[in-house]
A and B are shown apart, each in its own frame.
Chain A
């Protein structure tokens, strides 16, 4: 592993199903983030975690939950998927208050049908 690993790369999911998107980093960054990216809207923050054991809500948290049991892992769960959650999801991490930049995973393309 080098950087951030996201899984799966893509997924087609039936509406109403539960889904967990996985994110693992090996850079020992304190802060981790989940974004969704939709055409014309840019990156929107779903949830974040400034350090292991803490999480916070971003701009669009409804329908999503996260946990941060340790430094490396930050899974995102959709409890009951809806078509409006069709998007590309990026996990990111940062250290030093973010001033050294965010590192992004390669993304998960999720389609809810």
Chain B
């Protein structure tokens, strides 16, 4: 079966750095997304990785290792507004998007 694993919840301090991991087992791989979802709102696009390596976009970076079936989202200089759920999703060989259950990130002052 297809499976995406992420931690259920993480806590971090304002101003710090946090890394949210995602491991996947899917039938094929055509890319990996990270989305942010604030409570009661729709998911919004953060990043897309299809090749191995690090993609940096401001305070957020996303890393992919296809051989290990592994990705992480790195958030730097954490702000209170970063409190949200972070969803990892993989495009499989049929170009269907497989979603993880999400990681709820709690930022403390």
| Interface size band for A | 20 to 34
SS class, residues of chain A in contact with chain B: mixed
Expressed in whole angstroms, the minimum distance between the Cβ of B92 and any Cβ of chain A is 10
B87 in complex: contacting residue of A33, A42, A105, CB < 8 Å: A42
Interface range on chain B: under 10, 10 to 19, 20 to 34, or 35 or more?
20 to 34
Q: Which residue of B lies closest to A90 (CB)?
A: B42
- Determine the chain A residues whose CB is within 8 A of the CB of B101 once the complex forms: 40-42
Which one of B41, B42, B91, B100 has the greatest number of beta carbons of chain A within 10 Å? B42
- Interface residues in B17-74 by Cβ distance below 8 A to A read 30-31, 33, 41-45, 48, 50
A-B residue pairs, 8 tightest by C-beta: A42-B101, A104-B42, A101-B45, A43-B99, A42-B99, A106-B42, A104-B43, A97-B95
B48 contact set on A, CB distance < 8 A: 99-101
22 contacts between A and B (CB under 8 A): A40-B8, A42-B87, A43-B43, A43-B89, A45-B96, A48-B96, A90-B42, A90-B43, A97-B30, A97-B91, A97-B95, A99-B30, A99-B48, A99-B91, A100-B48, A101-B48, A102-B33, A104-B42, A104-B44, A105-B42, A106-B41, A106-B42
Residues of A within 8 A of B97 (CB): 33, 45, 98, 102
Which chain B residues border A100 with CB–CB below 8 Å? 48
